[in-house]
Chains A and B, each alone.
Chain A
Amino acid sequence: MSAPSIFTRPARLAVIAPYLWMALFFLVPFAFVLKISMSQTAIAQPPYTPVFDLTAGWEAIKAAFAALSADNFRLLVSDDLYVLSYLRSLVVASVSTAILLAIGYPIAYGMARLPRRWQSVAVMLVIVPFWTSFLIRIYAWINILQHDGLLNQVLLALHLVSAPVVWLSTDSAMYLGIVYSYLPFMILPLYATLAKLDPALLEAASDLGSSPARAFWLVTFPLSLPGVAAGALLCFIPIVGEFVIPDLLAGSDSLMIGQTLWLEFFTNKDWPVASAAAVVLLLLLLAPLLLYDRLQRRQLEAR
């Protein structure tokens, strides 16, 4: 006799639903992009060949498959433009994540140590900027940073500088914009981890002879590492693909991969190369995700 299954029909659906979602909205589109990345450009509609035509018969489809090639990927590796874009994206994302961590950790720590009733107010304050459109906030920064903008006016009025400083179209402006935009994504997971920390653990550390600073490094910090990893990934991954902020705030002398992609798609109309660049970007981002997943699994196994 078989045991009654807990997987009744609705329960089974609930288990399958996320996989269906992933298949429909991630795997299928990814297959399209992968296919385009292996095609060649053409002045046509759509702007690449071959095109699979399911009505043309089996032989035509076989021919279309044969026409696919990895040429675009070879181009990506051989051309400095793409390699430098990838490198710049990784450097910008790493530096930004480090700055975000350095600013976000103390803020999250301070929030977690506020009296309970003030903590929800602090969380609100972190979220409030989301109520304004992201683009408007970046344009506001352009306003502040431009030649006769607020920042230069204040610096001149205070006699800190004698002539207006060039802020806009520099890497500093870009980093400012990125850090400003992504700070909530760093603070919130860190705060969530730190707020859960049992204050008795710090008392125990101090009871066993640790000064407050040592107690922080020996207890609070190691226990907040899952939050650090979550915040860092939540920032690092989208920053690698970031396109709007560098486009609006940074100079035009070096591009991030997001900008290069955009140029290929909309200016050069080279969908296949752009798709190949997107596939490589995805593979690059998969590495830190898999690493995080492995760390988490190891932590679970240790339990």
Chain B
Amino acid sequence: MTDDAAKAAWDADSARPEPQPAADVPLLRIDAVVKKFGAFRAVDRLSLDIRAGEFFALLGPSGCGKTTLLRMLAGFETPDQGRILLDGKDIAQVLPHQRPVNMMFQNYALFPHLNVRDNIAFGLKRAGMPRPQHDTRVAEMVALVKLEGLEKRKPDQLSGGQKQRVALARSLARRPQVLLLDEPLAALDKKLRESTQLELMELQRRLGLTFIIVTHDQEEAMTVAGRIGVMDAGRLEQVATPRELYEAPGSRWVAEFVGDVNLFEGQVEQRENSRLAIATRDAGTVFVAEPRQPVTKASVCVAIRPEKVKLSRRGPASDAVNARAINRLDGVVTDVGYLGGLTTYKVKLDSGAVLRSSMANTARLDLDAYSPGQRVVAWFTPDDCVVLEQ
């Protein structure tokens, strides 16, 4: 079956009504949910809205509560407080086998005694789907994840990537309103993981389903998800698009968790025509663009991503650049890390602090490469800085 045919068949006998794209009513509303294990609050008064058709990622370090939250959506854990509204109905106390939600498990949890076909059909049989219809659906699912010819195999006879596809097909077979994915690609090697990420996005777009993925891999979250919720200690630190998360982190914690960052603590000294001058201990006075939300506290933190820090032998001389009040810091290169696509530098500033910079290797013969011990000027524009309140 071609992809288009699979899609057509999918649409033709869809068991549930099309998701209503009512803009302001979310498909899933998590409302002040609390989950405690003993005295430990795994999820702490967390609220979140997820729209129909969204690909949402929950990102966070291990133990941040993201898996617990996902398990509450699946029904394996019951919230101690708060509501979980799916299509307006509170499902917080509904048993897992009665929810229109399916989950793809971290280690796939395929039934070892059943073959591929019976694994995929498992949920359909439980739903009491009549035989002919259920055969068509299984064939559709097998085609969707490109497993034709492997229907009779047992999970033990499949590769990691094939198991992952069976698990995906099995969790999609019942056409859940929401598909939950718990670290679905963690067991795959890097190359396979990257291609599978793209397939997952493609599948989600084509089926128009709502996917919620839990991952600790920020690149994975950024690749697949339209929006990312960053969690720490049972709370959402920030919910934003991947770009916002990286370029406009909401807190120092998020700035440090997502990607690499240089941080300088300091005091707001002066404020003039949409620019702040911040006196820092390690980098002298740093000029930054006034953020959209005005800074209220005096004590702040300046964050600059390494790739926004440029190095040169002499300071940038052009008047145009000077006019934008460039930030210049003098120092000595201490470490050079060649990563292929980019090179990372550590520069020891004259203040003693270490500044990280990374530069794309845009030319094969790089005449601008710096070597350890070399004196350089590190510079960055006020627009590339983010001001975070402490």
Instruction: Enumerate chain A residues within 8 angstroms of B107, measured Cβ to Cβ.
Output: 198, 200
Of B95, B102, B157, the residue contacting A208 (CB under 8 A) is B102
Instruction: Enumerate chain B residues within 8 angstroms of A201, measured Cβ to Cβ.
Output: 109, 111
Instruction: Enumerate chain A residues within 8 angstroms of B126, measured Cβ to Cβ.
Output: 208-210, 214
Q: Is B175 an interface residue (CB 8 A)?
A: no
Contact pattern, A 56-76, Cβ under 8 Å of B = 1, otherwise 0: 000000000000000000000
Interface residues of A in 200-230 (CB under 8 A from B): 200-201, 203-211, 214, 218-219, 222-223
Nearest residue (CB) in B for A222 is B113
Instruction: Enumerate chain B residues within 8 angstroms of A208, measured Cβ to Cβ.
Output: 97, 102, 122-123, 126, 170, 174
Number of A-B contacts (CB under 8 A): 62
Give the distance in Å from the alpha carbon of A203 to the alpha carbon of B102 in the complex.
11
Instruction: Enumerate chain B residues within 8 angstroms of A214, measured Cβ to Cβ.
Output: 126
Nearest residue (CB) in B for A214 is B126
Of B96, B98, B112, B156, the residue contacting A203 (CB under 8 A) is B96
Instruction: Enumerate chain A residues within 8 angstroms of B98, measured Cβ to Cβ.
Output: 209
In the complex, what's the smallest C-beta–C-beta distance from B86 to chain A, in angstroms?
15
Give the distance in Å from the alpha carbon of A210 to the alpha carbon of B122 in the complex.
9
Q: A207-B74, A210-B126 are in contact. Are A200 and B109 (CB under 8 A)?
A: yes
> Are the CB atoms of B156 and A303 closer together than 8 Å?
yes
Instruction: Enumerate chain A residues within 8 angstroms of B157, measured Cβ to Cβ.
Output: 303
Interface residues of B in 90-118 (CB under 8 A from A): 95-98, 102-103, 105-107, 109-113
In the complex, what's the smallest C-beta–C-beta distance from B159 to chain A, in angstroms?
14
Q: Is A302 an interface residue (CB 8 A)?
A: yes
Give the distance in Å from the alpha carbon of A201 to the alpha carbon of B113 in the complex.
11
Of A203, A204, A209, A211, the residue contacting B174 (CB under 8 A) is A209
> Are the CB atoms of B109 and A204 closer together than 8 Å?
yes
In the complex, what's the smallest C-beta–C-beta distance from B321 to chain A, in angstroms?
57
Q: Is B154 an interface residue (CB 8 A)?
A: yes
In the complex, what's the smallest C-beta–C-beta distance from A225 to chain B, in angstroms?
8
> Are the CB atoms of B113 and A223 closer together than 8 Å?
yes
In the complex, what's the smallest C-beta–C-beta distance from B196 to chain A, in angstroms?
20
Give the distance in Å from the alpha carbon of A216 to the alpha carbon of B112 in the complex.
15
In the complex, what's the smallest C-beta–C-beta distance from B116 to chain A, in angstroms?
13
In the complex, what's the smallest C-beta–C-beta distance from B113 to chain A, in angstroms?
5
Of B102, B111, B127, the residue contacting A207 (CB under 8 A) is B102
Of B97, B103, B111, the residue contacting A219 (CB under 8 A) is B111
Instruction: Enumerate chain A residues within 8 angstroms of B74, measured Cβ to Cβ.
Output: 203, 207
Q: Is B338 an interface residue (CB 8 A)?
A: no
Q: A214-B126, A303-B154, A303-B157 are in contact. Are A206 and B112 (CB under 8 A)?
A: no
> Are the CB atoms of A207 and B97 closer together than 8 Å?
yes
> Are the CB atoms of A207 and B103 closer together than 8 Å?
yes
Of A200, A209, A223, A303, the residue contacting B97 (CB under 8 A) is A209
Instruction: Enumerate chain B residues within 8 angstroms of A211, measured Cβ to Cβ.
Output: 97
Give the distance in Å from the alpha carbon of A210 to the alpha carbon of B96 in the complex.
9
> Are the CB atoms of B105 and A204 closer together than 8 Å?
yes
**How many positions in chain A have a CB within 8 Å of any CB in the partner chain?**
19
Give the distance in Å from the alpha carbon of A222 to the alpha carbon of B107 in the complex.
20
Instruction: Enumerate chain A residues within 8 angstroms of B110, measured Cβ to Cβ.
Output: 204
Give the distance in Å from the alpha carbon of A198 to the alpha carbon of B110 in the complex.
10
Contact pattern, A 140-183, Cβ under 8 Å of B = 1, otherwise 0: 00000000000000000000000000000000000000000000
Q: Is B76 an interface residue (CB 8 A)?
A: yes
Give the distance in Å from the alpha carbon of A206 to the alpha carbon of B111 in the complex.
12
Instruction: Enumerate chain B residues within 8 angstroms of A303, measured Cβ to Cβ.
Output: 154, 156-157
> Are the CB atoms of A223 and B112 closer together than 8 Å?
yes
> Are the CB atoms of B97 and A206 closer together than 8 Å?
yes
Interface residues of B in 317-343 (CB under 8 A from A): none
Of B112, B122, B127, B156, the residue contacting A205 (CB under 8 A) is B122
Instruction: Enumerate chain A residues within 8 angstroms of B95, measured Cβ to Cβ.
Output: 206
Nearest residue (CB) in A for B120 is A208
In the complex, what's the smallest C-beta–C-beta distance from B190 to chain A, in angstroms?
25
Q: Which of A203, A207, A218 lies at the interface centre, i.e. has the most chain B CB atoms within 10 A of its CB? A: A207
Instruction: Enumerate chain A residues within 8 angstroms of B154, measured Cβ to Cβ.
Output: 302-303
In the complex, what's the smallest C-beta–C-beta distance from A47 to chain B, in angstroms?
54
Give the distance in Å from the alpha carbon of A207 to the alpha carbon of B167 in the complex.
12
Give the distance in Å from the alpha carbon of A206 to the alpha carbon of B109 in the complex.
12
Contact pattern, B 110-141, Cβ under 8 Å of A = 1, otherwise 0: 11110000000011001100000000000000
Give the distance in Å from the alpha carbon of A209 to the alpha carbon of B122 in the complex.
9
Give the distance in Å from the alpha carbon of A214 to the alpha carbon of B156 in the complex.
24
Instruction: Enumerate chain A residues within 8 angstroms of B75, measured Cβ to Cβ.
Output: 206-207
Give the distance in Å from the alpha carbon of A204 to the alpha carbon of B98 in the complex.
13
Nearest residue (CB) in B for A223 is B113
Nearest residue (CB) in B for A211 is B97
In the complex, what's the smallest C-beta–C-beta distance from B121 to chain A, in angstroms?
10
In the complex, what's the smallest C-beta–C-beta distance from B172 to chain A, in angstroms?
11
> Are the CB atoms of B109 and A198 closer together than 8 Å?
yes
Instruction: Enumerate chain B residues within 8 angstroms of A203, measured Cβ to Cβ.
Output: 74, 76, 96, 103, 105, 109
Nearest residue (CB) in B for A209 is B126
In the complex, what's the smallest C-beta–C-beta distance from A302 to chain B, in angstroms?
6
Give the distance in Å from the alpha carbon of A208 to the alpha carbon of B99 in the complex.
9
> Are the CB atoms of B156 and A206 closer together than 8 Å?
no
In the complex, what's the smallest C-beta–C-beta distance from B357 to chain A, in angstroms?
44
Give the distance in Å from the alpha carbon of A204 to the alpha carbon of B171 in the complex.
9
Give the distance in Å from the alpha carbon of A37 to the alpha carbon of B340 in the complex.
81
Contact pattern, B 63-81, Cβ under 8 Å of A = 1, otherwise 0: 0000000000011100000
Given A204-B109, A204-B110, A210-B126, 20 extra CB contacts under 8 A = A200-B109, A203-B96, A203-B103, A203-B109, A204-B103, A204-B111, A204-B170, A206-B95, A207-B76, A207-B97, A207-B103, A207-B171, A208-B174, A209-B97, A209-B123, A211-B97, A223-B113, A302-B154, A302-B156, A303-B156
Shortest 9 CB-CB contacts between residues of A and residues of B: A209-B126, A208-B123, A200-B109, A204-B109, A303-B156, A206-B96, A206-B97, A209-B97, A222-B113
15 contacting pairs across A/B (C-beta < 8 A): A198-B107, A200-B107, A204-B103, A204-B109, A204-B110, A207-B96, A207-B102, A209-B123, A209-B127, A209-B174, A211-B97, A222-B113, A223-B112, A302-B154, A303-B156
